[in-house]
Amino acid sequence: MSKLLKERERGSLIIISGPSGCGKGTIINEYLRNNRDHAWLSVSCTSRKKRPGDEEGVNYYFVTKEEFEAMIKEKKFLEYAVYNGNYYGTPKEYIESRLASGIDVLLEIEVQGALQVKEIIPEAIFIFVMPPSMEVLRDRLVGRETENREAILGRFKRAYKEINEVTKYNYVITNDKIEEAVLKMQSIIISEKCRVDRIEEVYLGNEEEEIHELLRDDKSFINKDVEI
C-alpha cells in the first residue's frame, strides 16, 4: 500500500534554554534515555573550569579561553555566548550531518546563544524551561554546593533577565514534576513533526484514480444514493 504523504526526512533542531538550576539537563537526559535512536545531544565547548563530576566530551568540551577565541576567529561555532565570565559555544561539526540523516539534534544553550541561532535557523524548535518559582530555583542553586554565595547571586540575578526572554521561544515548560516536564517535551517534538510544512509531496496519482473507479463500479454498496 502506497503512502499518501512524503514527509521531510531531515531531523529537527531543538533549542532548550532556561535559568541555571531549572533542571533542563535532567529533562534532556530523561528524554534521550527513551529516544537515543533518533535524537542526539550536541556537546558544547566552554572555557570554564571543570566541576566535580564533569566529564570531557560528555558535559562539555573544556578548552582554554585562548583556544575558544581562536575557534571563534575560525568560525567553528554555530553560536557562542559569555556567561558568568566564561565562554560557551556550539561547535558546527557533526550537527549538519546528523540533521541531514534524520536525527533530531538537541542544543542546551543559554538565551543569548539561542537568539543567535533563531536569526540563522528560525525554523528550529525553541523550548524554554521554567522553574516552578524563584524560591525553588534558589533552593536548587544553593543545594548544588558547587559555588560560592557571590556566584549563586550572579546566577539568580541573571535568571530574572532570562525569564523575561521567554516570549521569544515557541514553547515553555514548567519543571515542577520531572515526569510531566519530560512528557511535555516529548509531546512538543511529536506535534512539531506533524506540521503540514514538513510535507514534501502529496501522492495522488493513477493508483488513487483506479481505486476511485473500482469503488464506482462496486455493486456491493447497499445505499445506491451514495455518490462517490
Cell (9 digits) for 23: 533542571
Return mean pLDDT, the chain: 86
Cα(113)–Cα(94) distance, rounded to whole angstroms? 18
Beta-carbon contacts of 205 under 8 Å, excluding residues fewer than 6 positions away, are none
Q: Give the model's pLDDT for residue 72.
A: 96
Per-residue pLDDT in tens (0 to 9) along the chain, 228 residues: 556 766 778 899 999 999 888 889 999 999 999 998 999 999 999 999 998 889 998 889 999 999 999 999 999 999 998 887 899 999 998 898 999 999 999 999 989 899 999 999 999 999 999 998 888 877 777 776 666 777 777 777 888 889 999 999 999 999 999 999 999 999 999 999 888 887 766 665 556 556 666 666 666 555 555 554
Cα(199)–Cα(54) distance, rounded to whole angstroms? 41
Cα(117)–Cα(111) distance, rounded to whole angstroms? 10
Tell me which residue has cell 542553586.
141
Q: Give the model's pLDDT for residue 215.
A: 66
Cα(69)–Cα(3) distance, rounded to whole angstroms? 50
Which residue type is seen at 116? Q
- Ordered by where they begin, the domains of the chain are 5-42+103-217 (3.40.50.300), 44-93 (3.30.63.10)
Q: Give the model's pLDDT for residue 2.
A: 59
Q: Give the model's pLDDT for residue 139.
A: 79
